[in-house]
Structure 1
Amino acid sequence: MPAFAQDSDSETSNNTMKNTEYVTFYPSYGYQDEGLWRIPLRVWVHKHGGWGGKQLSKVAKRVVRNKAGLEELHQDQIEMFRFRFRDFVADSQSFEAIFLRFDQDPDEEVFRLQSADGDKRTNFNGLLFGELTLTFERAEELLTAQQSKNGWLRFTATGKDHQGEGAVRLIKPQGDSVISDIDDTVKITEITEGEAVVMMNTFFKPFQAVPQMKALYQTFDENVALHYVSGGPWQMYRPLADFLFKTAGFPPGSMHMKNVRLHLLEGETYGDFYRLIKLGSVASEQQKIRQISEIFSHFPQRGFTLIGDSGEHDPEVFAHIRNQFPEQVNAIIIRDVVNDATKNPERLQGMKVIQADSAFIDADG
């Protein structure tokens, strides 16, 4: 299992680590271009446990609790909220250089991440978007050293006072890939049920996998490359990755999400979050089209299956992608949570439909 969401929360209780800065490497992929493996990386450096973050978390907890329709919280709900909301109130670290080393590298080579514009340090939001390159020979050496399966490479942050682990999958030019939505596709969020239910399922209840979708994903061949593309905010990455890849057992893959404003004392921040998850805004629709199109452009010889749900704009996004890349889309699968197969069948034309309450997948659909 590749290392996802490995930067721990122990800093809140371990004074000896008070200077530690936690590095989140969001899982990515590598693609071949001009005789090299190119690996795009999104990295975030942050701290937890500051006084300001704790105070903001208290305010946010009260606001979100009210939006979820709860008069009071049990201790397990409080702990769950803290875990899931922690990255909204973390202290992002700017001007940080990112150094990493691939695990079991016989050369112990240290790589420094740099953006396409030449930036070598994190921005004011603690983020650095960069790219690593490996020769085919070097990549094969690392894969062999790690005894890697299916192209996964693990690496570790090596900067001063930095702690974090990450993983990237080197994906061959040819083969089968799956691009998947998350909310109400593989994880039950109940977006169509309204704000209170969405907030409850997002912050105060244990995440639940969609049973028939979990069964479907576990049938994928190990050589299938997975990409999870969500209109939800990046700040939810760590609890989502922990649930998807550790608890629920979905196959690991790259993650592609969206930012949300972090001024937690402004009411509009919560409106932003709700609109991103609940309303499937035009911005989120365009974000998905942009991110999926980029993946397709990196793998022009691979075939793709697109999997989403009918509660948001997945059918429209996937239809757009099918028109843009007709030779590469093998299938579109939609979990129909609003009964569009009956009410609005033209919306799902040419797509395989899975009824939301179906216990089994009809392979011949």
Structure 2
Amino acid sequence: MTSYLKKSVVALASARTYIAQWSAEHVYADEALIIPFPTLAKFNPDKGVWSVQIKAWLYLPIEGNKLKIFFSSLPGRLMRKIESTKREDSVDKELNLNVAGDLEENNEQVEIIDDDDDPGACLNEDAVHEDSSKVDENPGRLGYFFVRKSVKVITKSIINDVEHLLQPSDESGFIEGNLELSDEEIRSLGEKIHPDSSDLKFDYTIQINQSNSDIRTEPCKLFKCTIYALAHNGLSIISDIDDTIKISEVVSTRELLKHTFVSDFKPVDGMSELYQAWSEQNCQFHYVSSSPWQLFPALSVFLKKYKYPMGTINLRKFAWGFKHLKPPKTYKMETITQILNAYPSRQYIFVGDSGELDPEIYSKLYTMFPQNIRRIFIRDVCKTPECLPQCQERYLSAFQDVPKEQWTIFKDPRKVETDIRKITAV
């Protein structure tokens, strides 16, 4: 077959596929909805173009009064079922704590920025319990975990009035892909995030051809999303969510379920003000959490409600059967590494908490990117004085390969340095 004929066959096949994907018999999810996630654009210096990451979740909502009643009552059922659950001991085993040297002989101590002897700082876990009978009237937060199985609907993104066909969603409804835009397009589309920096963001839309019949009575559905195209040089904050900026009580299964599915999301006092102060100094934010993507709508509302700076939000892919579920440590390491590799000339500040593996993950990343990571802040969530020595041992062990001036343990965010120049001068 000649080269010309090969090209003709390929072109015809592509055209046929494109037409078939948008035909009425193939696009049949009239009620399908999309949740697009804010992501990064990465500049490719070899090609001179930006790779724009598209990431979204397509799902079919379940409707009906009975299901709504079930969703609204499910949080209470969950809480009653685990009423007797005690604090898990498996966290300490997972951490696999190792003491760096003989602490008594070296007389090493970890400085923790405390709460001025706040009597509530070390309350026992069971000392205070809120009324767990409160039911979230909005079934949406739980409803996203019980959607109907998604179908492979073809979607397209519209950027600057130009349509880009996306790959079909996978069996879980996830849509992932990359589009290439020129630097000129990015500059024309983007608006400055900070007045004195070159960090940009722009919105685009994802479209579903919603009708499954030849008679289309309603317009196609459009869903807006944000892309961040940052300057090659600059400062970014990589922040955890649970127990770093939002109270979750990850170390307790009972409290974690309550704060995730029952109670209104509550902020950690002082963290929003700290992040706002950093944002005003041209810092860009990337939220990385092991929470599932299904919580994105609620988390997005939480960030806006409590005035946290907006930015990219990276959550873990979840599907029943756990086919795509990566271990939290693996997921966080991979996700943060991708961010650092996307912008290798930027500087980073890490913020996390001691409830899970943030100290171990961040210290490992520091050994991989010592020139990029300027500071690590860990919020100490220890509630009892008895566990303080163990926590100190853990921090010293985790950060044994990180210079002492590069990491800080704190309890009160209001005592964390807000001047970025002082933080990065260390």
Answer yes or no: same fold by TM over 0.5. yes
Q: Are residue 121 (structure 1) and residue 168 (structure 2) matched?
A: yes
Instruction: Give 2:179's aligned residue.
Output: 132
**C-alpha RMSD of matched pairs (Å):** 2.9
1:38-64 CA-to-partner distances (Å, cap 9, x unmatched) read 111221111223359658747854642
8 Å contact 1:39–1:131 — kept in the other structure?
yes
Say if 1:354 and 1:259 are closer, same or farther in 2 by CA, change over 3 A: same
- Aligned partners of 1:296, 1:181: CA distance in 2, in Å? 15
Q: 1:293 aligns with which of 307, 313, 337?
A: 337
Once the two structures are superposed, the pairs formed by residues 323-362 of structure 1 within 5 Å of their partners are 323-338=367-382, 339=388, 342=392, 344-346=394-396, 347-348=398-399, 350=404, 351-357=406-412, 359-362=414-417
Q: Are residue 185 (structure 1) and residue 226 (structure 2) matched?
A: no
Say if 1:155 and 1:67 are closer, same or farther in 2 by CA, change over 3 A: farther
- Aligned partners of 1:286, 1:72: CA distance in 2, in Å? 33
Q: Are residue 28 (structure 1) and residue 77 (structure 2) matched?
A: no
1:264-295 CA-to-partner distances (Å, cap 9, x unmatched) read xxxxx8xx9xxx9xxxxx81101100111111
Once the two structures are superposed, the pairs formed by residues 262-341 of structure 1 within 5 Å of their partners are 262=320, 283-338=327-382, 339=388
8 Å contact 1:39–1:133 — kept in the other structure?
yes
Give the alignment's TM-score, normalised by structure 2.
Answer: 0.67
Which stretches in structure 2 are left out of the alignment for 5+ residues? 1-28, 84-129, 211-220, 383-387
Instruction: Give 2:162's aligned residue.
Output: 109
Once the two structures are superposed, the pairs formed by residues 56-95 of structure 1 within 5 Å of their partners are 57=71, 60-61=74-75, 63-67=77-81, 69=83, 73-74=133-134, 77-80=135-138, 82-95=139-152
Report the more deviating stretch, 91-100 or 311-320: 91-100
8 Å contact 1:53–1:91 — kept in the other structure?
no
DSSP-derived class of the 1:134 partner = strand
Q: Are residue 201 (structure 1) and residue 256 (structure 2) matched?
A: no
DSSP-derived class of the 1:262 partner = coil
- Aligned partners of 2:193, 2:408: CA distance in 1, in Å? 36
Q: Which amino acid aligns with 2:358?
A: D
Instruction: Give 1:157's aligned residue.
Output: 206
8 Å contact 2:204–2:224 — kept in the other structure?
yes
Higher RCO structure, 1 or 2 (CA under 8 Å, sep 6+): 2
8 Å contact 1:24–1:45 — kept in the other structure?
yes
DSSP-derived class of the 1:45 partner = strand
DSSP-derived class of the 1:218 partner = helix
Report the structure number with the largest CA radius of gyration: 2
Say if 1:260 and 1:109 are closer, same or farther in 2 by CA, change over 3 A: closer
Q: Are residue 44 (structure 1) and residue 44 (structure 2) matched?
A: no
Give 1:72 shift. Answer: 7.8
Q: Which amino acid aligns with 1:258?
A: R
8 Å contact 2:75–2:261 — kept in the other structure?
no
8 Å contact 2:355–2:381 — kept in the other structure?
yes
Q: 1:19 aligns with which of 16, 30, 35?
A: 30
Give the alignment's TM-score, normalised by structure 1.
Answer: 0.78
Q: Which amino acid aligns with 2:51?
A: R
8 Å contact 2:242–2:248 — kept in the other structure?
yes
Q: Which amino acid aligns with 2:366?
A: R
Instruction: Give 1:235's aligned residue.
Output: 294
**Identity of paired residues, percent?**
24
DSSP-derived class of the 2:295 partner = helix
Q: Which amino acid aligns with 2:292?
A: P
Instruction: Give 2:10's aligned residue.
Output: none
8 Å contact 2:279–2:309 — kept in the other structure?
no
Instruction: Give 1:279's aligned residue.
Output: none
- Aligned partners of 1:41, 1:30: CA distance in 2, in Å? 9
